[in-house]
Each structure stands twice: as C-alpha cells, then as structure tokens.
A and B are shown apart, each in its own frame.
Chain A
C-alpha cells in the first residue's frame, strides 16, 4: 500500500455516524491513557475510557467527548465505536459542572464500594466533558 499521510477516520455510535473523513492525527482516550494514532500505525484494537477524542486535520480539529467504546486501527483506517459521543459544541458546560459537584459531594459520604465506583465513574465523565470543553475553547472553537 502506498504511503499515505492521512488516516481515514470513522466515529460511530449505535445511533448514528458522527464523523467520516480524513485525519492526520487521532488522539483517543484509551482505557489506560491517551492514545495517539498516526498514519501507518500497526493494527490495534483498544478499549476506550471516558475522555476527549481529537481528530486533527490541517489545523482543523474536531473534538468529541466519548464515554467509552472501542477503537480499531487497521490499514490506516481508524474506526471508533463509541458508547456515546458528543461534539464539543453540544456539551452543556453548566450541566457538566453541576454533575461534577454532585458526584464530588456524594462521594464524600458514599458507603458501599459499588456506590463509590459508580460515583467515581460519574465524576470521571463530568471531568472529561469539562476537559473537552476546555480543549475546544483553547483551540478557539467554542464560545
């Protein structure tokens, strides 16, 4: 296969397709840390955690929040199967802040381990959403 300097990226959720196009870099939230994918990456199958997903193309970035899912790379094709995904512009910052505060407060007096784990996950989601908004703002896309 001829050397290409872009990746073909598809972002899909169960309900619809969010992105289908080229990219130079994909920065995805792996379960154990951010994953940066460049063209000619080895075949990869990764679990995603909640976090920001950035698709960079000639300084024209798309930023999403994904709550989890799978990422597959093969032959310069990146497929992201997200449980849920939101575009940075769609995120309600105030709601994410509220969710974060609520999770933090409840975490203080959480009793059982499952409850703690659930609240931790909720907190992670809220923080990731806020981070997505933050990244988007820094790149001058939102508000």
Chain B
C-alpha cells in the first residue's frame, strides 16, 4: 500500500495533466472551427474553377485536338513511376491520425505498384512529404523523397499550396513521375477523418453534375485572348486549388483529431483522479483505524 503522501502527490500531478489536456482540447476546438471556416471560404473559388475545368475538358475532348495536344497536364501516359503527395500533420498529440494517413499512403503505393508490376513494370514511388509526421514516416521507411514541406502551420495560405503543387507539376513534366496521387485526411465531421487518395496529375476533369448547363453551351463562349491561353493558365491553378483544399481539410482534420484525443486524455485523467481519491480515502481511513487501535491498546496496557 502506498502512503497517503505518495497518493496525494499522484493526484496533484494527474490534476495538472488534466488541466493541460483540457486547455489543449479547447484550443484545438477553436482552431478546428476556424479551419472549417477557411474550408468554407475556399469553396466558391474551388467550385467555379472546377466548373471551368470541366468545361475545358469537354471542349478538349470534342474534337479540338490542338487543344488536347497542348494541355500536357491533362494527358494520360503509360505509368512507369508514381508520385505521392503525402499531407500529414506537423504536430502529434492527435491520436491515430498520422499513422492512419501514413498507412493510407503506403497502401496506395503498394496497390499501385502491384497493379503495375502485373503489367510488367517495375515502378518507383517518389514521395513529396508535407508535414513533419509524413516526412518522418518517409525517412524512417527509407522511401524516395522528392521534396519535403514542414511547418505549414495552422493557417496554410494559397502560397504554401502553390509551392507544393509546383514541385509535383515539375516532377510530372520532367517525366520523373507519370501519375501523382494526393493523400490526405478528409474532414468528415468532428469525430471522423477519413484518409483519402485522389489523383492530382494528370488532371482528371471533374464530372459534370446532374442539372448542370446543357452540353454544347461551351462553344458559345467568347474567349479572350483565346481558348488555349486560358486553359493553359487554368490547369496549373486548378492543381494549386486541389492541393490548397487538401491542405485546409488536413488542418481541420488534425485539429479535430487533436480535440478528440485531448478530450479522451482529460476524461482518462479524471477517471484516474477518482480512482486515486478513493484509494487515498481508504488508505487514510486504514491509517486512522490503526492509530486508534494503537491508542486503545496502549490505554488498556496501562
């Protein structure tokens, strides 16, 4: 049985830990709300550009071969090497999120490699690691890394996304990789973040939604200066936006995962405090009983 003093010390230290995790939980929850707002704010732009790109794809696939030829970022080519942009949290204390994302990346790499091997290829997988947890994973597993971006912070800007997209696009254009996947944690809701893999390059034109404007409308547009120029400028922006949205979602996911992890930690600490208090009282009572017994025994002996 530990002494009452020891138990008291433990209780005090667990209480302090609970205070810290509680504070971290609050901070994470307010940061998560802000991150969600930023996802919302980025949405109008993303929706618009998505619509433009899907219109472009329609124009490019409708016989306009000059256009299709020009748009390297759209062009499918035989896949020899794979690129993976891994967007992971910069900081820990967010539960299983980092390992879930890293596992998703490894899974994507393995599945794609296997698929290509069956077709007779021997693909290399190159990583672009965003965030410290992903970087550490890539380094630890001794995988090939093209570039790393760490410390993007709680408020990544479009500039951060552009830099990341640039690296991916360069590698793609130089032929180092023939397909680029983006792996990140999609923010579903406060308690759920799903690791997802989406294809970044070559650009996959977004599907037209039901109820969109009818076909053939694209040709009625006046293009200024001309179609090629606009679409050439548009595609890299689209890639930037895909990365930017993934970054924002990743931040929101990280904050919500941290919030949940810290809530669990606080709850556990409180349980522990309760148990310890109970033990403390028992020990105290036992000590008092012993003392009384000693006093009584002493008095009787007199």
Contacts and interface: CB of A to CB of B under 8 A. Distances in A.
B230 A16 contact: no
Contact of B230 (A10, A12, A43, A45): A45
B42 to A, nearest CB: 6
B171 interface: no
A15 B41 contact: yes
Contacts of B230: 45-47, 70
B42 A45 contact: no
A35 interface: yes
B45 to A, nearest CB: 4
Nearest to B157: A15
Interface string B218-235: 001111110001100110
A24 interface: no
Contacts of B23: none
A46 B42 contact: no
Interface residues of B, number: 27
B64 interface: no
A117 interface: no
Nearest to A69: B237
* Chain B contact surface mostly: helix
Interface of A is mostly: strand
Interface residues of A, number: 24
A81 B222 contact: no
Interface string A1-23: 00000000010111111000000
Nearest to A84: B158
A35 B233 CA distance: 19
Interface of A: 10, 12-17, 30-32, 35, 42-47, 70, 72, 74, 79, 81, 83-84
Give the 10 A-B residue pairs with the shortest CB-CB distance, closest first.
A46-B224, A14-B158, A16-B41, A12-B45, A43-B221, A44-B222, A12-B44, A45-B221, A14-B45, A47-B230
Interface of B: 38, 41-42, 44-46, 48-49, 52, 157-158, 161, 217, 220-225, 229-230, 233-234, 237, 240-241, 244
